[in-house]
Amino acid sequence: MDDTAALLDAVAGLGDYFALPAADDGPWLPITTLLTDAATLSEYASRTRRATASAFGLDEALVPVKAAASSVHLSIAARVLSPVVGAAVTLSKIPVLDAETLRWQQDSSHRPRLAVARPRVLPVSDAADAAAAITGSVINELIVPLNETLCSGAALSPQVLWGNVISAANGAVTVMSQTRPECEQPGRALIAALMATDQLAGAAAHIDGTFRRRNCCLFYLVPGAGYCGDCVLVD
């Protein structure tokens, strides 16, 4: 097993959202063909809408399209951010996930499959260094085009989308800290460093020591869904 495979294997041990399989032989497509395709993202939003309606026992018409589209965005953001956040915190390295290395493929579920093709491994020295590396790869090359497509194609606001991004990163720290409590302090430091970047400035804040979005993912619009723990609407 080479160093990159070993890193990905170690990070996968943190949980399902931290795992990225290798893009071996198969019908893997460049990730940009997903991130910039409004029609494909709309299809995944439709599938998510149906799945949400089924889970809550609702008529599909009661699930807002925007809430479903935001859910798709949050899922993709979590799955590209969790591996790099986990690697930075636990190994002081990140796999460089960008337009060149990330792949995807269709399946019958309500979310696309993701995989990675021979990413470089970049050492990071501290939280600020890790935030800069994540910004230069995942944020700029993956999240920015995804946000632009969903802003225009699904009429989601930038505030909602960037809130989803920082919420996904913070959620990764919360998940890994449940089994690796020593990860919480360096993980929260990384989140603070990400919140200080140009794209994520103002997307969230720490209020009395608690992480809180300054926006909402819109899932509360689904009847019976309630609020997320970090929602701006929670008192």
Q: What is the per-residue pLDDT across 128-163, written as a single tens digit (0 to 9) for each? A: 999 999 999 999 999 999 999 999 999 999 999 999
| Burial tier of 61 (Cβ tally within 10 Å: 0-12, 13-18, 19+) | exposed
* % residues pLDDT > 90 (the chain): 85
Judge whether 168 lies within some domain.
yes
Model-level pTM?
Answer: 0.95
Judge whether 234 lies within some domain.
no
Alpha-carbon distance of 187 to 168, in angstroms, equals 13
Contact 216, 74 (CB under 8 A): no
Domain count of the fold of the chain: 1
CB hemisphere CA count around 39 (13 angstroms) = 1
* % residues pLDDT > 70 (the chain): 99
Judge whether 17 lies within some domain.
yes
Taking residues 192-202, what's their average pLDDT? Answer: 96
Judge whether 233 lies within some domain.
no
Q: What is the pLDDT of residue 20?
A: 94
Q: Is the pLDDT of residue 110 over 60?
A: yes
Judge whether 185 lies within some domain.
yes
Q: Is the pLDDT of residue 168 over 90?
A: yes
Judge whether 226 lies within some domain.
no
The mean-pLDDT minimum among 38-42, 55-59, 173-177, 219-223 falls in 219-223
Look at 194 and 111; give whichever has higher pLDDT: 194
Taking residues 110-117, what's their average pLDDT? Answer: 92
Judge whether 140 lies within some domain.
yes
Q: Is the pLDDT of residue 235 over 80?
A: no
Taking residues 43-66, what's their average pLDDT? Answer: 96
Q: What is the pLDDT of residue 1?
A: 54
